[in-house]
Structure 1
Amino acid sequence: MTGHERVAAFLIAVGEEAATAILKNMPEDDVERIALEIHKQRYLSADVADAILDEVAEQLGGDEGGVAGGLPFLRHVLNKTLLPNRANEMLSRLTTQATTPPFAFLRKAETSQLIAFIKTEHPQTVAMIIAYLDPVQAASVLSALPSDIQAEVAMRIAMMDRTSPDVVREVERLLRLKFASLSAGSLERSGGVQHVVSLLQKSDPGNTKFIMDALGEMAPELADEVQKNMFVFSDIMRLGDRDMPKIVRECDGKDLALALRGASEEMRVKFFKGMSSRSAVQMKDDIEIMGPQRLSAIEEAQQKVVAVVRRLEQNEEIVIARGGGEEFK
């Protein structure tokens, strides 16, 4: 727990009267931060209460061994601590804060505005901002960044996992002030390899290749992990039927049979449509007589098929469309 979370839990544990007396003697800025945490802690378990305030655990009461926090508790405490109009104003503001994702105010901005806004920020700050944007907007912003920092920002997003809510809120507060001239907690999870994959899959192929090449020089192992997740075997179901004959021709027959051994019937039919009737019958026979296979061998064969698909795309022989909600062509 953060400091404010612990204070909030303490105030819930001691009850409304004691909480009111304590809050009355605190600066309003601190009251608002703690109030936000009280709003989030809708229920305080007995175990947590014991850890926060051991000597009052026996007085918590109730068959469930806990006490209610959240909005009802907060409303009563604030009404006793502040004037009615100030209490209602703070409640309204806190309710909005509790349900609004970080950096939501940036989602209304145009890409050009965002680029002008973040171009002088540290790459880590840029990565944090992009990680919280809508995927389509994030991809647009990443693509529009200067080429010399695109790969570094992508790498930082990929390596990002969990960020302290206090850090996120402080960065957001400072950026909101800075952004004002441009536009009218638990641990927050953001970033990671999958986030970078999502952004790159929505970018144009040329820009994606540029970022991946640069990322490969900066962090080869990370680039390899991103590459493996860019297009997976199951995504072949979303390719157009007209591309399947090209893929079948380029695949080694044994690899394809092994890959299809572990595929769904729907996926097998997808490939069979790209073969002649005779070849499809032969492939079905090869799969049937193959017998049980190790999962690792099947996955390796499927990776080889995926590598064929990627190579065909790089050679512009097939097209994998990217963008919000669009299917592969």
Structure 2
Amino acid sequence: MILAEPPELKRYGGIERAAALMLVLGKDHGAQIWEHLSVDEIKELSATISTLGRVPSAAAEHLLIAFAGEVSAMNALHGSFETTERLLDGILPSDRVREIMEDIRGPAGRTMWDKLSNVSEAVLAGYLKNEYPQTVAVILSKLKADHAARVLGQLPREIAIDVVQRMLRMETVQKDVLLQVEQTLRSEFMSNLSRAQRRDPHEAMAEVFNAMDRSTEQSILGSLDEHAPESAERIRALMFTFEDLGSLIPTAVSAIVRQADKRQMALALKGAPDQIRQLFMSTMTERSAKLMREDMAGMGPVRARDCEEAQTALVRLAKSLADRGEIVLADPKSDDAMIV
């Protein structure tokens, strides 16, 4: 049975209906829905709720019945990019939906300039070399200096020189010009990049191997050497191991030491090569290093497996800090590659 929509509900758009439904559900029944919303969505829904005024009982009842009917009619729920986009289309304006989906599909970042900072300089330069130099100058002026420098290094020399000269002569960029550039980047570059991006499966597998215990890793990679030697070599090149921590600069090691569980770190260092042990100790205060040595000595004999698990945990912490931009992990297997 399809209930007729009450007249009071006709003045509600998509966002107003969503806000009214959340208001009707209240704190107890709506809490789990709020937990799955982004900060921006919460702000938008909250602002709409604050301006709803009185919600007629007929409108509230219709929203609840319609909501319950749609859920009960589903045999199963399937989450995907497409279903997410269809769901948001019924709640938010189309431009807001587009921005949210770009955030989900494309490089992370709250603003367009944040997003560009997460795009490889080679990919970004490949797009910019076909743009008007003044546009390139505007874009590079909005990026962080180190990222802009790497992009310039990837551009053809003549273009790079032209762009630098324009950046030197550039005055304050008008807001409408920036908005136009952002819109072009969003519609032409970021959307195409989102569709084109496909993660190398070897990268995902390298992360899986990083999380394995040492014996399992060596056993499976050994078998892979026989059946798919090129894949095994690629995975090894992408893995970041505990031994690779020995190549980090002292400030990066210091950040790991500050945030690591001290008991776990003592266990990891007990089974570590002398070079890595000394590197970690050198970033500690004299008193902290003394306490760490005492903890290691007080453990007595420990299982190699326990040491390896503690070392894997330190590697995960290092990669987590790198993901947050707090440290940079230089990959010793490559002259210029960076793991971030």
Give TM-score, length-normalised by structure 2: 0.33
Structure-1-length-normalised TM-score = 0.34
